[in-house]
Structure 1
Amino acid sequence: MSHIFHITTRAAWDSVTETTPYAMSTLDKTLAEEGFIHCSATQDQVARVLSRHYQGVPGLLLLTIDPRRLDVRFEPAPDSPDELYPHLYGPLPKSAVIEVRPLPDNR
């Protein structure tokens, strides 16, 4: 596994600094609330997550993450028990993000 991906809002990502790591799990929940940060292992997973959970949300970004030295565990999602998704257990340091790219509006 060379990279994993995470969908976020521009506002959430803009709050990250070199000393304040990213700590949102999903669109409406923090790492503290959920216990981990939801990620995707493939572009197909990213597309399915966008379709299921981010319809109509403007200003989304896709983070490409280097998972080395991060506590990443592959676990089934409740709505896809046969497919494993990467979950990041702990905050995401800015230094682990390789690329930040805007996503087209998903309507």
Structure 2
Amino acid sequence: MTDLAYKLVDRAEYEAADGFYSGSAVDRADGYIHMSTAGQLAETAARHFRGRDDLLLVAVHLPDLEDLRWEPSRGGALFPHLFGPLPKAAALWERSLSVDADGIMRFDDGATGWP
């Protein structure tokens, strides 16, 4: 497994969180915070964030987390799921973006897609 995962978040929700991000409405309903690896991120953005703006991509250092489980999801691929709040201190960096109508991530610095 990797030491780094990514969480796409609504900027206002994330910035309003005081020290810990409790997840989106979908995360809270499912009982865990959904994250993606680098290889899973583009499909996650296209499937779940298409047409959304004012988002942040948060890079999360997984060894800093408790209650992290790798569980099968799309096509049996293992995804990192956090069973508890995400400590904002575990974020290595944040990057502003939107996801266009075609499902392509568009970063505020003009870059598109994901490597």
TM-score range, shorter chain: 0.7 to 0.9
Alignment match, 2:78: 84
TM-score (ref. length: structure 2): 0.78
Identity over the aligned pairs, expressed in percent? 33
Alignment match, 2:68: 72
Alignment match, 1:55: 50
Structure 2 CA distance, aligned partners of 1:30 and 1:2?
Answer: 21
Q: Any gaps of 5 or more consecutive residues in structure 2?
A: 102-115
Structure 1 CA distance, aligned partners of 2:7 and 2:69?
Answer: 14
Pairwise CA RMSD of aligned residues? 1.5
Question: CA-to-partner distance for each residue in 1:5-61, whole Å, 9 max, x for gaps?
Answer: 10001111111223xx10114xx4243x2210000012x311000111111111111
Structure 1 CA distance, aligned partners of 2:37 and 2:27?
Answer: 20
Q: Give 1:49's aligned amino acid.
A: T
Q: 1:54 to 1:36 in 2, by over 3 A?
A: same
Runs of 4+, deviation exceeding 3 Å: none
Contact preservation (8 Å) 1:59, 1:105: no
Report the count of equivalent residues: 99
Q: Secondary structure at the match of 2:84?
A: coil
Decide which moves more: 7-16 or 65-74: 65-74
Task: Kindly indicate whether structure 1 or structure 2 has the higher relative contact order, using CA contacts under 8 Å at least 6 residues apart.
Answer: 1
Alignment match, 2:3: 2
Q: Any gaps of 5 or more consecutive residues in structure 1?
A: none
Q: Give 1:39's aligned amino acid.
A: M
TM-score (ref. length: structure 1): 0.83
Structure 2 CA distance, aligned partners of 1:104 and 1:81?
Answer: 26
